[in-house]
Amino acid sequence: MFSGCVNLKDITLSDSVIKIGSATFFGCTKLKKLMIPSGVQELENNLFRGCSSLEEVDLPEGIQVIGVDAFYQCDELKEITISRDCVVEGGNGGVTIHYFDK
Closest CA to 57 of 33, 23, 83, 25: 33
> What is the reported pLDDT for 63?
95
What confidence tens digit (pLDDT) does each residue in 50-83 have?
999 999 999 999 999 999 999 999 999 999 999 9
Q: Give me the domains of the chain, ranges plus CATH numbers.
A: 1-102 (3.80.10.10)
Once rounded to an integer, what is the mean pLDDT over residues 29-44?
96
3-state secondary structure of 58: strand
**Whole-prediction pTM:** 0.91
What is the average pLDDT value for the chain, to the nearest integer? Answer: 93
Q: How much is the CA Rg of the chain, to the nearest whole Å?
A: 12
Q: Is pLDDT at 102 greater than 80 in this prediction?
A: no
Residue 55: exposure state from Cβ atoms within 10 A (0-12, 13-18, ≥19): middle
Residue 58: exposure state from Cβ atoms within 10 A (0-12, 13-18, ≥19): exposed
Cα end-to-end distance, the chain, whole Å: 32
**Which of the 8 DSSP states describes residue 5?**
-
